[in-house]
Amino acid sequence: KKSVDDINVSGQRVLCRCDFNVPLKDGKITDENRLVAALPTIKKLIADGGRVILCSHLGKPKGEPKPELSLAPVAVRLSELLGQEVKFAADDEVVGANARAAVEAMKDGEVVLLQNTRYRAEETKNGEALSKELASLADVFVNDAFGTAHRAHCSNVGVAECLKAEGKPAVVGYLMQKEIDFLGKAVENPVRPFVAILGGAKVADKLNVINNLLEKCDTLIIGGGMAYTFLKAQGFEIGTSLCDDSKLDYCKEMLAKAEKLGKKILLPVDSVTVKSFPNPIDAEVDSEVHANEDMPSDQLAGDIGPKTAELYANEVKAAKTVVWNGPMGVFENPTLSKGTLKVAEVLADADATTIIGGGDSAAAVNQMGFGPKMSHISTGGGASLEFLEGKALPGVVAADEK
């Protein structure tokens, strides 16, 4: 894909789509990883003398201008991170009088942030009017919003199409490029052995990821709630553990596929069990450890057990590429976080390219302090999953080819 390195933005109005969809609590940003990850592209555009117009969605206001989903706190924090003013053009209609006046008055190297693009209902429908309005502000489009790349919305796809129709460039930023490089190389051209670790609650959320990664990897490790549907499919008693009964046949199919392809699927051999799901999630709980063969009928698995953690750790130690998506248990609870912690620890020390899919596993790794020891932590939740499913992401497809 064409990137910011392939164009000259000096004196140009550059519309840069970022994913500033960050968690907020009482108007404060509680995790600024996505802002920090966007800085290299923004700094490059500033240094090259572009007039940098930033835009993003935040949450799901569904076309209603909701003050609690205003991007105002992002403008404040970005100004601090960049060491220069990010002027907030707060139009409820996104492209309104404030935005037009701010862009009109811009000098080279200055930065403006537009209001939450989802204040307009048509944003998520990839409507023509908003796409055109956004395009009218810009000479060049840069898409650096990997986290949103699985959506085809006005601010990442429609606007690119409008500008391209006028013969103007639509390129990707450094973050987008880095994400595609890491995830793409891991899946399409991995240094082997390639181990994929999947976790999380539901098999149903990962059907296509399991199927696609099974074809690409050497070993597929499965933990978290979804493992218990697989164990039940193998005939084990799983007590009151999470189980997606409608997916039992799917699990059998995947186990058979692995055998046919000569791939290994690793499942828990033991589990940390509790009487009921902790409520609140971090509440103190009494736990036991049980092998698959003696799972009590009135308990549920909250984490992989110590033997399983060891088994998984040994597999990771021998790997050269590891992709991890989804926690091994209820990692928010101290009693049920050890499996996830162990996997994070071995990944941090592994002599391998280690890639963490976004969402819960990225949160777990960062929370446990292992972030800097991973090769790459994706800023995309849904986007990294769809990438791992082997799907083309509309936000990436819309950018110019080199």
Report the C-alpha gap between 319 and 314 in whole angstroms: 9
DSSP characters over 176-197: HHHHHHHHHHHHHSPPSSEEEE
The active-site residue out of 87, 125, 132, 202 is 202
381 scored as a contact of ligand 3PG (CB under 6 A): yes
Q: Are 52 and 39 in contact (CB under 8 A)?
A: no
Nearer of residues 143 and 148 to ligand 3PG, judged by Cβ? 148
Active site residue 380: no
Part in contact with ligand 3PG (CB under 6 A); list of ranges 145-153, 191-199, 206-214, 363-371? 145-153
| Total of residues contacting ligand 3PG (CB under 6 A) | 8
Q: What angle in degrees, to the nearest 10, is found between the helix axes of 248-261 and 207-216?
A: 10
Give the C-alpha separation, 400 to 207, whole Å: 31
Instruction: Note whether 123 binds ligand 3PG by CB under 6 A.
Output: no
59 marked ligand binding residue: yes
CA distance 290 to 55: 51
Listed ranges 68-76, 95-103, 146-154, 291-299: which one lies at the site for ligand 3PG (CB under 6 A): 146-154
172 secondary structure, DSSP code = E
Q: Per CB under 6 A, which of residues 270..289 are in contact with ligand 3PG?
A: none
How far apart CA 149 and CA 155 sit, in angstroms, is: 11
From the list 359, 380, 381, 395, the catalytic residue is 359
What span, in angstroms and rounded, lies between the C-alpha atoms of 290 and 228?
A: 13
Residue type, 80: E
Confirm whether residue 83 is marked as ligand binding: no
Residues 150-169 that bind ligand 3PG (CB under 6 A): 151
Measured from the CB atom, the residue of 56 and 241 that comes closer to ligand 3PG is 56
116 known member of a binding site = no
Task: Judge whether 19 is annotated as a binding position.
Answer: yes
Instruction: Rank residues 147 and 173 by Cβ distance to ligand 3PG and give the closer one.
Output: 147
Is residue 61 involved in binding ligand 3PG (CB under 6 A)?
Answer: no
| Rg of the chain (C-alpha set) | 23
Q: Which amino acid type is present at position 16? A: C
Task: State the nearest-atom distance from the C-beta of 299 to ligand 3PG, in Å.
Answer: 33
Q: Is 164 annotated as contributing to ligand binding? A: no
Closer residue to ligand 3PG (CB): 3 or 148: 148
178 catalytically annotated:
no
Looking only at residues 17 through 46 of this chain, which bind ligand 3PG when binding is defined by CB under 6 A?
Answer: 19, 21
Alpha-carbon 131 to chain mean position:
25
State how far the Cα of 262 lies from the Cα of 280, in Å rounded to an integer: 42
| 359 carries an active-site annotation | yes
Active-site annotation holds for 257: no
The set of residues, in sequence order, having a beta carbon less than 8 Å from that of 165 and lying 6+ positions away, is none
- Does 179 bind ligand 3PG (CB under 6 A)? Our answer is no
What is the rounded distance in angstroms from the CA atom of residue 113 to the CA atom of residue 194? 41
- Residues annotated as part of the active site: 34, 202, 359, 382
Query: Where does this chain bind ligand 3PG (CB under 6 A)?
Result: 19, 21, 60, 147-148, 151, 381-382
